[in-house]
Chains A and B, each alone.
Chain A
Amino acid sequence: MHAPLDNENKKALRDGFGEGMMVLGETNQKVVALCADLTGSDRLTKFQAQWPHRFVEVGVAEQNLAGIGAGMARVGKIPFTASFAVFHPGRSWDQIRVSGCYSKNNLKIYGGHAGITVGEDGATHQALEDVGIMRVLPNMTVICPADATQMKKATIAAATHPGPVYLRGGREKQPQTTLEDADFVIGKAEKLRHGKHVTIIAFGVMVREALLAAAALEKRKISALVLNMHTIKPLDVNAIIDAAHETGAIVTAEEHQVNCGLGSAVAEVLAEHIPTPQVRVGVKDTFGESGTAASLMDKYGLRAVDIVAAVEHVLERKRKNKLPSITPATKNARKPMKKKRKKTKKTVKRARKPAKKKPSRKAKKSKKREKSSRNARKKAAKKRARKAVKIRKTKKHVKRKKARKPAKRNVRKKR
């Protein structure tokens, strides 16, 4: 289901993007690449050398980058606009919104060096909000692949996917996580591991951490289902509902703010469809800082141990949820209602039971009378209620009509 966790095949997400672009260069003549002075960093140097007439250097101008891309899309090209995620989409959100999404232009945005793993450059260069600002845009597709292997597939898939697409890249090299021959379908979550007790949903570099966490949990006899949610929009709602149903506890893990990214997206699904205990692992409403990628992942709680802690937390809540003593708040509120119902039900049952045992004619007749008289009382009560409503309605109508008439007359006179 996933690559062995101790493999040494290390690559960065951006390498996958570069490889994907080389494949597209060969196979799709409509594909063009645009870059804002970061050709090497975004791994487009080979593409530029091979197809110079299909490569556009825009200079340090990310708003123009998005606009030029949209214009090229308008005349039939499939432009991939590349920069760092903090600048594009960070600085060009309005251009992506209007020139890209509103017009449904075929704009493919590559936001490189995303997340806290950018490291030493510090908080200004660590995009931790990009998924949030992209997933709120109508017509947008948001893809955050788990590793270079998947990024290559995602890049190729984005070219034929209609409309604007956001691809989230990264700088840090990491071991291969997904399998070479695994299918990649936009909008379809990848189940990397089966489990019964808890589900870990992750994207990007956190998928590997999720798998490491799952392996650690296995030793403690906790089986964790791991979902690689590479597409944040459109979100694979069914996969989340199924996972919540199967395991009853969810942990989300992302190298992104928990407030607007995957954690939020999953919480929205759970709240609307299948309320389930959830704990979010990610950057908690704070900026990053300078440091090596590894040290920052440790400090900002983006490691397998943090996921394990979150799993413990969520399993605790799952256990408590099952105990009846924890949930009486709602029960207490409804108690008087239930008591009344129970009484009526009991009386009916008492009347029925002897009737079933001895189906004599007299008993039947008396039961019928009892029923009919009860029904009659109910009907009368309903009628009274209806009448009251009617009277109220008619009164309102009269009031409204009175209020409207003079206004209409005025309009007619004016004309």
Chain B
Amino acid sequence: MKNKELALIANNARQECIKTLFLSKSGHTAGPLGMADVFTVLYYDHLRVDPMNPEWEGRDYVFLSNGHICVIWYVTLANRGFFEKTHLWSFRKVNSLLQGHPHSGPIPGVENSGGPLAQGLSQAVGAALALKRDGKRNRVYCCCSDGEHQEGQAWEAAMFAGNNKLDNLTFIMDRNFIQIDGFTEDVMPLEPLAAKFQAFNWHVITIDGHNLKQIKKALKKAEKIKGKPTIILAKTIPGKGVKEMENQPKWHGMPPNEEQASRALQELTSERQQLEKRRWV
């Protein structure tokens, strides 16, 4: 898919995230806006999935380990046709399909229940192992956050995947440098992340998580790496697209109020107009 189309889809996804979060009056804002580009490229350009048949055996599996950014997952799945878009408007409300953190089973396209951090990583690794041992071609993707790599389980999973040479596995880390209590490097430094993963026998690709071309290229490169799992360290701006939310830890777990939402939507709409005018290569 062309970059212009992907950029417009990502912009649309950001707007829908804002709307969903405004209606739910609770949820996480910064992470979903930051990962909009990655999710758009994944679901519109890269994955082998069938929205009409979410349990298709030949599908690529997507796990979301940092479950709190699930709004962007839900929005992308809904736009892609996995379920009715109207479900978005009841996000986090009682009797709703869309839980505050992902619940696998009832929601089409959602492979894992997540929220308690690092659990998705182990599950993705387990799925990749089973598929690889059966000689299947399905690939496994796991979106995760940087902060969750402070959990011990994250490194248990990394060690296991490296040891088992799971080259059908790709992690995409939302490296946005924030967590609830502040900036990751202040709370509990994670750097040097790339060296850490390399030491665990991983192939590491560092990219700008908002550059569609780089995201596409990294995902394709990861497929070609043999004998190692790959992690894409996608450097993102939390709250990307809305100036007042960008790079602010306080927007990690806060929904926008009416004024903030309308300001954000205005900003994103004007960005959309610029995207349409812009010359795309």
Residues on B with C-beta less than 8 A from A77 are 130
- Partner of B123 from the list A53, A58, A67 (CB cut-off 8 Å) is A67
A98 touches B153 (CB 8 A): no
Please tell me if the beta carbons of A53 and B133 are within 8 angstroms of each other in the complex. yes
Chain B interface size, as a band, is: 20 to 34
B3-52 contacts to A, CB under 8 A, are none
Using A58-B160, A59-B159 as known contacts, say yes or no to A64 and B130 having CB atoms under 8 A apart: no
Q: Which of B126, B129, B138 gathers most chain A CB within 10 Å?
A: B126
A71: contacting residue among B116, B126, B133, B159, CB under 8 A: B126
Contact yes or no, B130 A98, CB < 8 A: no
Q: Is B157 an interface residue (CB 8 A)?
A: yes
Q: Which of A13-21, A99-107, A172-180, A188-196 contacts B (4 or more CB under 8 A)?
A: A99-107
Given contacts A70-B122, A72-B130, whether A63 and B61 have CB atoms under 8 Å apart is no
Main secondary structure of the interface of A (DSSP, over half): helix
A: number of interface residues (CB 8 Å)? 29
Shortest Cβ distance from B111 into A: residue: A74
Q: How far is the CA of A95 from the CA of B118 in the complex (A)?
A: 10
Say whether B116 contacts A74, CB under 8 Å: no
A72 adjacent to B129 (CB under 8 Å) = yes
Q: Is the CB of A95 within 8 A of B130?
A: no
Q: How far is the CB of A44 from chain B (nearest CB, A)?
A: 17
Option from A66, A76, A103 in Cβ contact (under 8 Å) with B104:
A103
Q: What chain B residues lie within 8 Å of A75 (beta carbons)? A: 61, 127, 130-131, 138
- B211 touches A (CB below 8 Å): no
Residue B119, interface by CB 8 Å: yes
| Closest partner residue, chain B, to A100 (CB atom) | B113
A405–chain B nearest beta-carbon distance, Å = 24
The 8 Å CB contact of B112, one of A54, A103, A104, is A103
Distance between B70 CB and nearest chain A CB, rounded to angstroms: 14
- B130 x A32 contact (CB < 8 A): yes
Provide 12 A-B residue pairs closer than 8 Å at the C-beta atoms, listed in order of the A residue. Answer: A58-B160, A67-B123, A67-B125, A67-B126, A68-B129, A71-B63, A74-B104, A75-B130, A77-B130, A94-B119, A102-B103, A104-B105
Q: Which residues on B are within 8 Å of A, measured CB to CB?
A: 61, 63, 103-105, 111-116, 118-119, 121-131, 133, 138, 152-153, 156-157, 159-160
